[in-house]
Amino acid sequence: MTIVILSRGSCGLARCTRQYMLSMAAADLLVIIFCVILNYLGSLHFPFSLLNHYYVCSVNSIMNAALVDSSDWLTVAFTLHRFIAICCQRFKTRYCTERTASWVILTVCAVSYLRNIPRYFTYEPDYTRGAFPFCRLHNLCTKTALAIYLWSGKIITPLIPYVCILLLNTLTIRHILVASRVRKVFRGQDNDGKQVDPEMENRLKSIILLFAISGNFIVLWLTRVVEIVFQEMLLSLSSMPTVTQVGDMLRYLNSCTNTCIYALTQAKFRDEMKRVVIHPIHLLLKIIKV
């Protein structure tokens, strides 16, 4: 999240959108690196590596949960940003600013990491499996506080973000349909509907981007949400390992596809990403020359 820089004043909707997209891309990239490559694939193919050491595993658990939380809630923040920009003109000038966007992004990331710190205490060392203490979960049946904490985490992510995105998208669609009908009526009276409406074209592009990102989130998280509702909320104790594996695969796929959506739809986003990659290289070259 270090690519986000606080600044004063307001900015256009395009700059605010790119700021949210850069932050979501950074969070998604970290999800792929830590959750998929290091945690999932590393633990699967190297079960006796240091990744399973008690201290490394405990910290890695915090990182994984925090990255998934920040990725999901940044998607909610972006959806809220577009909802206010389209449907709430009174709050648009106050909320849709670069400074507000920066604080929202930093707050989401900070809260995501702070909320997952207690996960460190949900693990205990296991000295029976190898040369170093391996990581294993506590017996949560006798630790009610830890059990409630882990269960509440499934409500905070992904159930609440899922409902928020569905609700905000529904309200946005309703507002656009109503506004489009009214605008077509007025423009039809003026020019018989022969001229192209640039305002509606810009709004259509914005809606396509919004629905591509949030719709991707809704579809790929659906399996995981259904599993949580039926297995956790409705207290169905039957194990569903295949559904769990498919749900995990799809939710991690969400992070991969989001980055592709950003790159394919936004030329300026690609330019910003190039700057983020090239800037450390320039700094390194300056240090070497000195």
Q: What is the 3 state secondary structure string of the chain?
A: CCCCCCCCCCCCHHHHHHHHHHHHHHHHHHHHHHHHHHHHHHHHHCCCCHHHEHHHHHHHHHHHHHHHHHHHHHHHHHHHHHHHHHHCHHHHHHHCCHHHHHHHHHHHHHHHHHHCHHHHHHEEEECCCCCCCEEEECCHHHCHHHHHHHHHHHHHHHHHHHHHHHHHHHHHHHHHHHHHHHHHHHHHHHHCCCCCCHHHHHHHHHHHHHHHHHHHHHHHHHHHHHHHHHHHHCCCCCCCHHHHHHHHHHHHHHHHHHHHHHHHHCHHHHHHHHHHHHHHHHHHHHHHHC
Domain residue limits, the chain: 13-266
| pTM of the model as a whole | 0.80
pLDDT digits (tens, 9 = 90+) for 244-290: 888 888 888 888 887 777 766 666 667 777 777 787 788 888 888 76
The CATH number given to 13-266 is 1.20.1070.10
pLDDT of the chain, 290 residues: tens digit per residue: 333 333 333 346 777 877 888 888 888 888 988 888 888 888 777 878 788 888 888 888 899 999 999 999 998 998 898 888 888 878 888 888 888 889 999 999 999 999 999 888 888 888 777 777 888 877 765 567 777 888 888 888 888 998 998 899 888 888 887 877 777 777 665 555 556 666 667 667 777 777 788 888 888 888 888 888 877 666 555 567 788 888 888 888 888 887 777 766 666 667 777 777 787 788 888 888 76
